[in-house]
Structures are given as C-alpha cells and as structure tokens.
Amino acid sequence: MTSGSEAPNDYDSAEQLRRRIDTTKAHPARVYDVFLGGKDNYPVDREAAAAALAANPRGYLDVRHNRDFLRRAVNHIAGETGIRQFLDIGTGLPTQENVHQIAQRIVPDARVVYVDNDPVVLTHARALLTSGPEGRTDYIDADLHDPAAILRAAAGTLDLTEPVALVLVAVLHFVEDDEAYGIVKHLVDALPSGSHLVLSHLTSDLNAEQIAKVAKTYKDRGFSFVLREHAEVLRFVTDNGLEIVEPGLVPVHHWRPDDADDTLAAHADASPEFVEGLEDIDKIRYRSITDVTDADINVYAVVARKP
C-alpha cells in the first residue's frame, strides 16, 4: 500500500482471507492484541490471554512495556541515525503508535514495510496501515521462516542498498533455536552498513517462576515458545557482528525510559465502578504502566548497529 492506495491484485480476496482464518486456535498476534486492549481477536484468543494473565497477573506490563520500547527505539532511530527505512517483521495487529506513525512524525518521507502471516492482521493492515503523504507504507503477507521471500518482497518498497532498521520485536521467542539464529543472520547479511536491529525477547533470566507459568499456558495451546537467557539473546547481536547501542541488552523498561504512560486518554474518564465490573483481561487497558518494577518484567530489549 502506498499513501493509502492499493492495486487490485496486491492481496488475497476477502473470501480467500476468510478461509485462512482459524478461529479455533489462538494466534500470538491476536493474543497480543487482547493485552493491548484491541478488539480484533476471537474468544479463543481472549481465553489464551486470560490464562496467561491468571498465571502472571502483572504480565500485561511485559506486553505494554514491550510496545513502549518499540516507540522509544523508533524515535531514536528516526531522530538520531538518519535511517529512513524500516522493516517490521511480526508486526501484529495495527494498534496505537505503529512504526510508520512514529517514524513519519520525525521523518515524513520514511518508508516502512510490515510483515506478518496472519490473515486477520492482513485484513486490518490493508485498512489502517496507510502512510502520510510524503512517506510510503507497505504490507507483506509472509512468514518469518522464509527470510529470502521477505527480502525479495521488501525490495519493492525499500532500497536495500541504503540503511534499514530491522524490527524483530517480541517475535523470535516463537521460533526454535535451530531456525532463529539462521533467520536473523540471513536478514542482517542482506542489509548494508549503518543498518540497525531493534529486538526484544522473552527470557527465563528475569522472574523465572512467573514466566514459566505463562510459557506453559502458550505451549499448552500449541505455540512454539522459547525463553532465551541473556547470552542466547545476545547471540542475535554478536553472531552478526553488530555494535550494541547504549544502554545495551537490558530489561525492556530500562531501555532509555522516558516515564511516559501508554494508557489511552480516552480511558481516563472511566469510573472505578465501571472498571471494577469488567473481566480481569479487560481491566488491564485502564491501568497505568508507570508503576512497573523489576519484578514485573520478563523481556530483554536491545538496539544494535551494523558497522
């Protein structure tokens, strides 16, 4: 999609998309949408999110601080590195503060390519991930397990001879070790000097007992779910010869915090009585993230540069 326009053959038909949607199995992108207060999900996704929340009642802070890290990282890259191109793989459902919105506020002509393979994500991306007048935004219906196909398609929008910010936020823990490192190497090797990697990853290093309970709820629903330790996450940087940007590989809420609260302003007027009457999974959208502690977080974050 370019500046809100699309060619008629760019996407599957609506009927083909509907046939691809499986409402009997939870999908990571739609479960993530539940935690962010979205509405583009199904009962099976809400049930999966509710089970994870029951296992770790403050686990929503992982999801929302992960999303806030994305905001801060894109602000840094768009504002300080000169990069004008972003490849966001595993983007999930459109929500508040998507990559193109953040980047194009700073660099109006920024180009952003989103990649996901869930038909629900594709349907909403077509409608919502539209660029500003000076920039360009595109969406690729592709699988992270096929990085060559992603790169071929992305080259239609991005100039891969110029620096690109590769965004792999909260996606690699759904990929097993024997594939994950090779996928990242394939992608990074294709990008020129000056490109950046933006990465976040669930870990067993931080608050191991609570994240193990959450991991079990996802594995019980058939998700691949790999909790990597610090050294294992760091390999995505060191194996590819990347230079880590300060403050390094840190718990997600410690990556250049700015104490912003992502609670939507529209929720500010909700009465305590109204919120108390909601299901637990719906209450979290009304909660601030500024009361986070180290005991709440199970996610590492890092930004690194290709020399």
Mean pLDDT along residues 6-11 = 40
Which among 75, 64, 35, 62 has a CA at the least distance from the CA of 51?
Answer: 35
Q: Is the peptide bond before 147 cis (omega within 30 degrees of 0)?
A: no
- Give 169's contacts (C-beta < 8 A, 6+ positions apart): 66, 69, 70, 88, 90, 198, 199, 200
Q: Give residue 14's pLDDT.
A: 60
* pLDDT higher than 90, residue 234: yes
Chain length of the chain: 307
Q: Give residue 26's pLDDT.
A: 87
pLDDT tens string 173-199: 999 888 999 999 999 999 999 999 999
* pLDDT higher than 80, residue 163: yes
Helix (H, G, I), strand (E, B) or coil at 49: helix
Mean pLDDT along residues 96-108 = 90
Mean pLDDT along residues 160-164 = 98
Q: Which residues of 267-294 are buried (b: 16+ CB within 10 A; e: fewer)?
A: eeeeeeeeeeeeeebeebbbbebeebee
* pLDDT higher than 80, residue 3: no
Mean pLDDT along residues 150-177 = 96
Q: Give residue 201's pLDDT.
A: 97
CA distance 133 to 3: 6
Which among 205, 236, 206, 226 has a CA at the least distance from the CA of 302?
Answer: 236
Mean pLDDT along residues 30-41 = 85
- pLDDT tier at 148 (50, 70, 90 boundaries)? very high
* pLDDT higher than 60, residue 161: yes
Mean pLDDT along residues 127-144 = 82
Tell me which residue has tokens 């790999």: 226
- pLDDT tier at 12 (50, 70, 90 boundaries)? very low
Q: How much of the chain exceeds pLDDT 70, in percent?
A: 90
Mean pLDDT along residues 233-251 = 98
Q: Give residue 270's pLDDT.
A: 77
pLDDT tens string 281-291: 988 888 888 89
* pLDDT higher than 80, residue 62: yes
Q: Where are the alpha helices (DSSP H) in 246-302?
A: 272-276, 280-283
Q: Give residue 87's pLDDT.
A: 98
Q: Give residue 6's pLDDT.
A: 39
Q: Where are the alpha helices (DSSP H) in 1-106?
A: 14-20, 28-35, 43-55, 60-80, 99-106
Mean pLDDT along residues 211-229 = 87
Q: Give residue 1's pLDDT.
A: 43
Residue 246 token pair: 């300060």
Average pLDDT, the chain: 88
Q: Where are the alpha helices (DSSP H) in the chain?
A: 14-20, 28-35, 43-55, 60-80, 99-106, 119-128, 147-154, 177-189, 208-219, 230-238, 272-276, 280-283
- For the stretch 258-262, contacts whose Cβ atoms lie closer than 8 Å and that sit 24 or more positions apart, written own/partner, are 258/72, 259/290, 260/68, 260/71, 261/288, 261/289, 261/290, 262/64, 262/67, 262/68, 262/71, 262/96, 262/97, 262/289
Highest mean pLDDT among 37-46, 113-122, 148-157: 148-157
> Are the C-beta atoms of residues 262 and 268 closer than 8 Å to each other?
no
CA distance 215 to 129: 30
Mean pLDDT along residues 224-243 = 95
CA distance 201 to 299: 5
* pLDDT higher than 70, residue 128: no
Q: Give residue 164's pLDDT.
A: 98
CA distance 1 to 129: 8
